[in-house]
């Protein structure tokens, strides 16, 4: 499973990119709003940090023609080439837009997925990534991990090129479980990414090594 950062918090991204082996960034309108920046400034800052990584930018419109126009504009404006992914919700208009964008050679990430069938239809519409929302499913007493597992099974059994981008996490355990069911990728907020690499026993061990190693270096 590869990791992406689900944020446009520029300071948090700088810190994460200094050590975490991330493959890219995802945004949505809520994430952009939380960053306090307008879209063009936020994405430009993200690009400065991410370099050649993937950038998944969600469209703001809800109508297919407008989604397509928006996605095409972002690809050109930000000059991202093949690292750009147009993030499109799985509405009727969204499925229309996905097919038009794929025909135009633009990468697509289908988002706001809550069922295996939504993901399969998005795959057939050409989506490169499908993003099921784990925590939002768990919050409505559904089973986010099972939906992710079913989508992964489909990609294997139907030999689909689509990759599963598990999204919407609130706990480290959810991330652990999507990796165990074979999700190809996960997009995760900064706080949880930090929690993935932290363990008090690691801190205790490092402190002990530091104490014991203090007078050993002699080369």
**Residue range at the interface with ligand E4P (CB under 6 A); choices 7-15, 24-32, 61-69, 118-126:** 24-32
Q: Does 139 bind ligand E4P (CB under 6 A)?
A: no
Q: Does 136 bind ligand E4P (CB under 6 A)?
A: yes
Q: Pick the closer one to ligand E4P by CB: 80 or 130.
A: 130
Q: Which of the residues 38, 87, 102, 214 is marked catalytic? A: 87
Q: How far is the CB of 130 from ligand E4P (least distance, A)?
A: 10
| Residue 165 near residue 131 (C-beta atoms within 8 A) | yes
Neighbours of 113 (CB within 10 A): 28
Neighbours of 204 (CB within 10 A): 10
Question: Could you give the string, one character per residue 58-87, with x where binding to ligand E4P holds by CB under 6 A and - elsewhere?
Answer: ------------------------------
Residue 183 burial class via C-beta count within 10 angstroms: exposed 0-12, middle 13-18, buried 19 and up: buried
Q: What dihedral angle (degrees, nearest 10) is formed by the CA atoms of 136, 139, 145, 151? A: -40
Task: Count, in order, helices (H) and strands (E) of the chain.
Answer: 11, 8
Q: How far is the CB of 165 from ligand E4P (least distance, A)?
A: 7
- Which residues participate in catalysis according to the annotation? 87
Give me the residues that bind ligand E4P (CB under 6 A), please. 6, 26, 28, 30, 111, 131, 133, 135-136, 167-168, 187
């Amino acid at each position: 499973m590869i990791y992406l950062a689900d944020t446009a918090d520029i300071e948090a991204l700088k810190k994460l990119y200094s050590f975490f082996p991330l493959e890219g960034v995802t945004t949505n309108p809520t994430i952009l709003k939380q960053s306090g920046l307008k879209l063009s400034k936020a994405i430009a800052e993200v690009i400065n940090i991410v370099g050649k990584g993937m950038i998944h930018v969600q469209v703001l419109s809800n109508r297919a023609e407008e989604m397509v126009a928006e996605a095409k504009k972002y690809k050109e404006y930000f000059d991202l080439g093949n690292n750009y992914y147009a993030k499109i919700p799985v509405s009727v208009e969204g499925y229309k837009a996905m097919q038009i964008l794929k025909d135009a050679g633009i990468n697509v990430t289908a988002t706001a997925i809550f069922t295996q069938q939504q993901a399969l239809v998005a795959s057939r519409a050409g989506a490169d990534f499908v993003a099921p929302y784990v925590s939002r499913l768990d919050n409505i007493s559904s089973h986010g991990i099972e939906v992710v597992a079913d989508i992964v099974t489909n990609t294997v059994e139907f030999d689909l090129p689509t990759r599963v981008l598990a999204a919407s996490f609130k706990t480290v355990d959810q991330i652990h479980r999507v990796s165990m069911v074979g999700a190809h990728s996960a997009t995760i907020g900064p706080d949880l990414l930090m929690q993935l690499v932290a363990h008090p026993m690691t801190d205790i061990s490092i402190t002990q090594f530091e104490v014991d190693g203090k007078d050993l270096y002699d080369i």
